[in-house]
Amino acid sequence: MGDLKKMMPKKLGFGCMRLPVLNGRTEEIDDASFCKMIDTYMKQGFAYFDTAYPYHNQKSEEAVRRCLVERYRREQFFLADKMPVWLVKEPADYQKLFDTQLARCGVEYFDFYLLHAMNAERAAEAEELGGFDFVQRMKTEGRIRHIGFSFHDSAEVLEDILKKHPEMEFVQLQINYYDWESENVQSRKCYEVAEKYGVPVIVMEPVKGGTLANMTGEPARILKELDAEASYASYAIRYAASLPNVMLVLSGMSNPGQLQDNTSYMKEFVPLSDGEKAAIGKVVEELSKMPTIACTKCRYCVEGCPKKIAIPDVFEDYNMTVQFGINDMNRESYVRHTAEAGRADDCIRCGKCEGQCPQHLPIRELLVKVAETFA
């Protein structure tokens, strides 16, 4: 299994969940821009792409086909996709969904394939409906090269799954320096469980949905003192990549600027120095004093909302007010995010969103705060 780590030419993966879009519509992926970003990424020797069934309202996989699969030879890149286990109602659904994914991506096989967003409940369902057996069968049939799962639950649940399923070759975890000791996300504890079972880790959300790319006040000062030129995101990505059992860090890159930044320090990756680690420790201390909402913008909560509230977007607007005070910029952003969607005060408190949230955020209560802020 250690071989998986050696297989990766570089430790930065291209996450295809926040691709550039046209007209502000998540379904309308800007192919021209995505193609250019892929070319820049590939030219520098990177090779890993991570998509999933629900990304971009089910349009990410097709964009990957158009912009990557139809433009490069299959052996030039690694493609990862994920089984949307929450859509599986009976065993036969696994094959149907999987075949749809192969067709959408235009490939004969996936290099890496994950049971998506596993937690205790979903692992039990996958167990009952044959999900673990299914991915293993696809591997035997040559449709999958490596099997694993992405994970959002406690370290204890992770240990249960890895104990029962030694066939799992890797695990995808939320790891970032802010959540390393968090009791909600349990980055450190989960990482240590994976290490104990000898299962390499792919890191998702290293920049905490972009949160750690935008510093202000004391945290900004601390990092700028280290290097005035380095981006804030660079420390977050290098932090995750510096962990020895991490085989790859995914970054959901949305524009050429982010790609340029990420690839610049991941092309010839240098682990964090002791001085950099100490500075990050201080940043965490400062950040923890700021009461922002810890939303990672995964958007799992959005689809089922009867009021069509763009929950992660209005949370981000709120967080900007916490960090920078209320100003025209974040007011305008809130108006934009609620123009064709519900406002925070439209929430009817049905609670559907909270069941979907991997961060276990009390979304209903938080929306009251958002509504008050932008009243």
Q: Which stretches of the chain bind ligand SF4, using CB under 6 A?
A: 295-301, 305-307, 309, 311-312, 347-353, 356-357, 359, 361, 363-364, 367
Closer to ligand SF4 by CB, 201 or 311: give it: 311
- Nearest-angstrom CA–CA distance, 80 and 58: 15
Tokens 């991490």 sit on residue: 246
Name which of 143 and 364 has its Cβ closer to ligand SF4: 364
For residue 353, the minimal CB distance to ligand SF4 (Å) is 3
Closest listed residue to residue 100, CA positions, set 36, 163, 53: 53
Quote the CA–CA distance of 215 and 224 in Å, as a whole number.
10
Report, in Å, the least distance between residue 302 CB and ligand SF4.
7
Unique residue bearing structure tokens 């490596």? 146
259/290 Cα distance (integer angstroms):
28
Give least dist CB 315 to ligand SF4, A. 6
What phi, psi does 144 have (nearest 5°)? -135, 135
Secondary structure (3-state) at 201: strand
The one-letter amino acid code at 343 reads R
Q: Where are the beta strands (DSSP E) in the chain?
A: 12-15, 48-50, 78-83, 110-118, 144-151, 170-174, 201-204, 246-252
Nearest-approach distance from CB 121 to ligand SF4, in angstroms = 15
CB 49 within 8 A of CB 79: yes
**Rounded to an integer, what distance in angstroms lies between the CA atom of residue 240 and that of residue 175?**
7
- For ligand SF4, the closer of residues 19 and 223 by Cβ is 19
Q: Where are the beta strands (DSSP E) in 18-105?
A: 48-50, 78-83
Q: What are the tokens at 88?
A: 């599986």
Q: Which residue, 45 or 362, is less far from ligand SF4 as judged by CB?
A: 362
Q: How far is the CB of 303 from ligand SF4 (least distance, A)?
A: 10
Of the pair 270, 339, the CB lying nearest ligand SF4 is at: 339
Using the minimum distance from each CB to ligand SF4, give the nearer residue, 194 or 347. Answer: 347
- Nearest residue (CB) to ligand SF4, 87 versus 278: 87
